[in-house]
């Protein structure tokens, strides 16, 4: 397992990072979740990403239980704040000082740790002044409850404003967590160049496009029983936009490329995002330990320029590149 620096900081993270969105506390039982975390550790993953909103705080609890007994200094633990938690009252969401201060304490308690390595703004909060948000994050860092600050799905303009305030407050904003895959490249035009300039790295989620890039979904056929596309508790809605025959047909045409390289389709997808030098880590989740074993083999893989060009040619116009899509995922009003 290889490590990469996170942003312009001294912190190193595993380039394959374990994330527990849509799995711990919801899709898989706690025992299976613990086995997946154990598999991640056994294969060299030391970086773990979660959020207080996942399974309405249960995902943090499961991860905290699974990591209990591990040497804390040998782990990099990330969590996030923004989306509603608890009873979802008017102050149980957003990036107000109140919500951030209360949320970090709850996250630390559930994760069974005194600090997180990275505390991330899960979305941009249009209902709270950015100055208030960044001052609260600065106080969290100065209190020792978080070492570094990151964000998720912020636009290039928002990153620039946040980085400027972070510099004034003498804290380090070092990461951005966007969706990124062969099929979803909306960060390439604006977010990535701005991040390079500011010393911010990407920790990318859904590098396998919610499982579509594994090739297990076939055009014109129903999804496999038990797959994410059949999960009515949340997985099916997240993957729906990719379950089109034109997309699935193009994905199947990637299989010969993966075969020639001796990679599985999932390994090819994860390796692809890691070719971007602004990507510090690819987040992978798992509902079975063997999925971790497969994904970690993408670490250290180099895809030659001609391979990347073939992938672009195969996928063609099914790739989403519109940079405006980043801003669309941040609610413009309070969720509660």
Q: Render pLDDT for 217-229 as a digit per residue (tens, 0 to 9).
A: 898 877 777 666 5
What's the pLDDT at 86?
Answer: 85
Hey, what domains does the chain have and what are their CATH numbers? 3-328 (3.20.20.100)
pLDDT above 70 for 233: no
Distance CA(184)–CA(320), nearest Å, equals 5
DSSP symbol at 320: B
Which pLDDT value is given to residue 228?
61
Interatomic CA distance for residues 261 and 272, integer angstroms:
12
Q: What is the pLDDT of residue 219?
A: 84
What value does the mean pLDDT of the chain take? 93
Active site residues: 54
What does the pLDDT read at residue 158?
97
What are the structure tokens assigned to 160, written together?
Answer: 């620039």
| Residue 13 contacts residue 47 (beta carbons within 8 Å) | yes
pLDDT at 234 > cutoff 60: no
Average pLDDT score over residue span 256-263: 97
**Residue 232 — pLDDT band, cuts 50, 70, 90?**
low
Give the residue from 216, 207, 218 showing the smallest Cα distance to 244. 218
Q: How many Cα atoms within 13 Å fall on the side-chain side of residue 334?
A: 13
Question: Euclidean distance between the first and final Cα of the chain, in Å?
Answer: 41
How many degrees, rounded to 5, is the angle at CA 206 between CA 234 and CA 78? 95
Q: Are 6 and 148 in contact (CB under 8 A)?
A: yes
Listed range (28-37, 122-131, 205-214) with the worst mean pLDDT: 28-37
The mean pLDDT value for 251-272 works out to 97
Distance CA 13, CA 45 (A): 9
Residue-wise pLDDT tens digits, 85-142: 988 889 999 999 999 999 999 999 999 999 999 999 999 999 999 999 999 999 999 9
Other C-beta atoms closer than 10 Å to the C-beta of 247 total: 20
Whole-model pTM: value is: 0.93
Sequential DSSP letters for 35-76? HHHHHHHHTT--EEE--TTGGGGHHHHHHHHHHTTS-GGG-E
């Amino acid at each position: 397992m290889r490590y990469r620096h996170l942003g312009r900081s001294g912190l190193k993270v595993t380039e394959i990072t374990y994330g527990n969105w849509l799995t711990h506390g919801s899709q898989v039982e706690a025992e299976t979740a613990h086995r997946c975390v154990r598999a991640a550790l056994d294969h060299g993953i030391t970086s773990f990403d979660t959020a207080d909103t996942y399974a309405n705080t249960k995902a943090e609890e499961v991860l905290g239980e699974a990591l209990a007994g591990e040497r804390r200094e040998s782990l990099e633990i990330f969590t996030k704040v923004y989306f509603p938690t608890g009873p979802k009252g008017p102050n149980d969401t957003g990036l107000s000082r109140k919500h951030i201060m209360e949320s970090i304490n709850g996250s630390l308690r559930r994760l069974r740790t005194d600090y997180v390595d990275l505390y991330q703004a899960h979305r941009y909060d249009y209902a709270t002044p950015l100055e208030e948000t960044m001052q609260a994050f600065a106080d969290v860092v100065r209190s020792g409850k978080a070492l570094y600050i990151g964000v998720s799905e912020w636009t290039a303009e928002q990153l620039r404003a946040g980085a400027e305030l972070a510099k004034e407050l003498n804290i380090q904003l070092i990461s951005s967590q966007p969706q990124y895959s062969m099929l979803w490249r909306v960060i390439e035009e604006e977010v990535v160049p701005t991040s390079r300039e500011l010393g911010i790295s990407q920790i990318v989620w859904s590098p396998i496009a919610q499982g579509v890039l594994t090739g297990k979904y076939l055009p014109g056929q129903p999804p496999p029983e038990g797959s994410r596309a059949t999960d009515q508790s949340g997985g099916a809605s997240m993957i729906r936009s990719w379950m089109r025959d034109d997309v699935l047909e193009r994905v199947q045409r990637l299989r010969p490329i993966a075969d020639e390289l001796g990679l599985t389709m999932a390994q090819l997808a994860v390796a692809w995002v890691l070719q971007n030098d602004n990507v510090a880590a690819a987040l992978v989740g798992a509902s079975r330990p063997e999925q971790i074993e497969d994904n970690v083999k993408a670490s250290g893989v180099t895809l030659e320029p001609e391979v990347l060009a073939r992938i672009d040619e195969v996928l063609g116009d099914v790739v989403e590149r519109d940079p405006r899509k980043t801003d669309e995922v941040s609610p413009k009003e309070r969720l509660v």
